[in-house]
Structures are given as C-alpha cells and as structure tokens.
C-alpha cells in the first residue's frame, strides 16, 4: 500500500469467518518450502491464527510464534491452543524487538505485506533478517501488481463518490526484489515472483471478503462512523464483479518471496 495508507481497523472474528479463500491455498504455499520438524517458525501477520495452528500441528517438535499488530486478530487467534504455539503483539517491522535475533529458522507471512506502506517494507525486511538464523528462510505471499483488479475498481468508485483516496497500488516484484536485496538477503532464482490465481467465490462469500478485508482499503481513510455506510455502498455494487461465466470468482495476483539470510552472516 502507499504511504498515504491509514491504520486498518480489523475485526478478527469477521476475518476468521471469511478467510477460506486464503486457507484454500495453504498447501500451495507449503509445497514451496515446508518447515523442518524441529524448526522455530514465526508467522508474521498471523491474523486470526488458522495458519499458525496448522504450522504448529505440522512441527510438533518445533515451535511457532504468531505475530500480529491488531488486538482483535490476536483475540481471535487465542482460540488456537497448542503447547508449541504462542502469539505476540507487534508491528511487522518491529518483530526484531519481540523475537530474539538469530533465533528463528523460518519466517512465513501470508496476505500481510500489502497492508503496509511501501516505505515500511525495507524496515520490515531488515527486522526479518535480524531474527533469522544464518541460513534461515523468509517465505511470504501477498498481493502484487494486478491483484483483484475488478475489486479495486469497484472500491475506487465508492472512494471517489465519497471524497476518499483511491486504493493504493499493489507493489511490483522488481521494487520488492531491490528492497530485499538492500536488506541483505540471498535471492535464489524465482526468489521474488508473481503468480496469478483464480479463486472461487459465491456471491455471499465475495460480500464477506468485501466487508471484512478488501473494504478496509477505503474505510481506513474514513471516520469510524462512516465505515458501515461505505461497506454498504461497496456491497450494493457486488454484482459488477460477476464474471462472464456467471461466477463471482476473482483473479488474485500473489507476490511470492522465498529468500534466505546468507550462511555466515
């Protein structure tokens, strides 16, 4: 997101109800880089904790630390209980202030980075670098350039009608490549790439996405008492998002990062 972005006001319980489109891609994400059985893993921007809990179940001899800046997300995540799973509150770019330096084998991040202004990316990548052990990996997926274009156009219509700024652009792979390089990471072939995905939605599911996730790109700029009206206006336009095949499926573009702190650093 751009430097104009304000603070997003999440509902952890609402997000948990409408995050199935992310969970459907969990195996796709894990197939690229699975944690080892004894790894210490940080889930950066853990949200309502479903993926953190899955990681904890995958590595019963390891440990998972879920990090999120939003109290309502952490409240929703607290229902996931495991001996090797803990949750901490911190901003993504301050994770090195709550997790010991050089103590983590793997940092993962799902659908979080695009909620940060691009000016905070380098600080975030530097913080991740610091908590990783030498040779440790950072694996992230978030919105990239071209993500949910039809949905962005709908939200921009609502924003313009209410005197609010347009949705900031999603970052491109080249910009992010240069930032992780500046942070000191080793970047393998295809270490920073974009992947287009068609994600299935019912009409009701797409409304849930609008109201609990995507709509925050405009409500974050508005007074709290205006948020519900803005979401109602976006919901009223949902049929604009119906595809020519009659479905409400959406095209996501994911910016995937799989990079390593060099051994010996």
Tell me 112's DSSP state. -
Residue 249 domain-assigned (yes or no): no
Residue 99 domain-assigned (yes or no): yes
Residue 246 domain-assigned (yes or no): no
Rounded to whole angstroms, the Cα distance separating 82 from 88 reads: 14
Residue-level pLDDT, tens digit, the chain, 265 residues: 333 344 557 888 888 888 889 999 999 999 999 999 999 999 999 999 999 999 999 999 999 999 999 999 999 999 999 999 999 999 999 999 999 999 999 999 999 999 999 999 999 999 999 999 999 999 999 999 999 999 999 999 999 999 999 998 999 999 999 999 999 999 999 999 999 999 999 999 999 999 999 999 999 888 889 999 999 999 999 999 999 999 999 999 999 999 999 998 8
Nearest to 82 by CA among 66, 102, 101, 100: 66
Sorted by sequence, the CB contacts under 8 Å of residue 254 that are 6+ apart come out as 141, 142, 143, 144, 147, 194, 195, 196, 197
- Over its C-alpha atoms, the chain yields an Rg (Å, rounded) of 18
Structural domain of residue 75, as residue ranges?
12-149+169-201+254-260
Residue 243 domain-assigned (yes or no): no
Identify the residue whose tokens are 């949910």: 148
Identify the residue whose tokens are 């274009």: 149
Rounded to whole angstroms, the Cα distance separating 80 from 96 reads: 24
Number of domains observed in the structure of the chain: 1
Nearest to 264 by CA among 137, 129, 134, 138: 134
Residue 215 domain-assigned (yes or no): no
Res 8: pLDDT = 55
- What is the CATH classification number for the domain harbouring 116? 3.40.50.150
Sorted by sequence, the CB contacts under 8 Å of residue 238 that are 6+ apart come out as 154, 203, 206, 207, 210, 248
Q: Is the dihedral of CA 165, 148, 91, 187 positive or negative?
A: negative
Rounded to whole angstroms, the Cα distance separating 212 from 156 reads: 17
Model pTM? 0.94
Residue 184 domain-assigned (yes or no): yes
- Report whether 77 contacts 51 (CB < 8 A): no
Where does residue 122 rank: exposed (0-12), middle (13-18), buried (19+ CB within 10 A)?
middle
Tell me 34's DSSP state. P
What's the CA angle centered on 40, arms 172 and 86, to 5 degrees?
95
Residue 233 domain-assigned (yes or no): no
Residue 115 domain-assigned (yes or no): yes
């Amino acid at each position: 997101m751009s430097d104009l972005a304000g603070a997003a006001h999440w509902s952890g319980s609402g997000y948990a109800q409408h995050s199935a489109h992310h969970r459907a891609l969990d195996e796709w994400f894990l197939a690229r880089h699975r944690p080892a059985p004894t790894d210490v893993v940080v889930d950066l921007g853990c949200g309502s904790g479903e993926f953190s809990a899955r990681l904890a179940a995958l590595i019963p001899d390891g440990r998972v630390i879920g990090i999120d800046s939003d109290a309502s997300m952490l409240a929703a995540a607290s229902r996931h209980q495991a001996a090797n799973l803990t949750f901490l509150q911190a901003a993504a770019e301050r994770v090195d202030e709550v997790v010991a330096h050089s103590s983590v084998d793997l940092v993962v991040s799902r659908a979080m980075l695009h909620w940060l202004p691009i000016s905070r990316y380098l600080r975030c990548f530097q913080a991740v670098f610091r908590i990783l052990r030498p040779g440790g990996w950072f694996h992230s997926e978030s919105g990239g350039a071209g993500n949910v274009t039809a949905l962005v156009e709908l939200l921009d219509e609502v924003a313009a009608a209410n005197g609010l700024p347009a949705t900031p652009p999603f970052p491109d792979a080249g910009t992010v490549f240069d930032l992780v390089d500046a942070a000191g990471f080793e970047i393998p072939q295809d270490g920073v790439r974009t992947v287009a995905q068609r994600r299935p939605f019912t009409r009701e599911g797409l409304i849930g996405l609008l109201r609990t996730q995507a709509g925050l790109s405009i409500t974050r700029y508005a007074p709290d008492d205006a948020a519900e009206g803005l979401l109602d206006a976006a919901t009223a336009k949902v049929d604009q998002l119906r595809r020519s095949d009659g479905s409400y499926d959406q095209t996501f573009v994911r910016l995937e990062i799989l990079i390593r702190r060099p051994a010996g650093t």
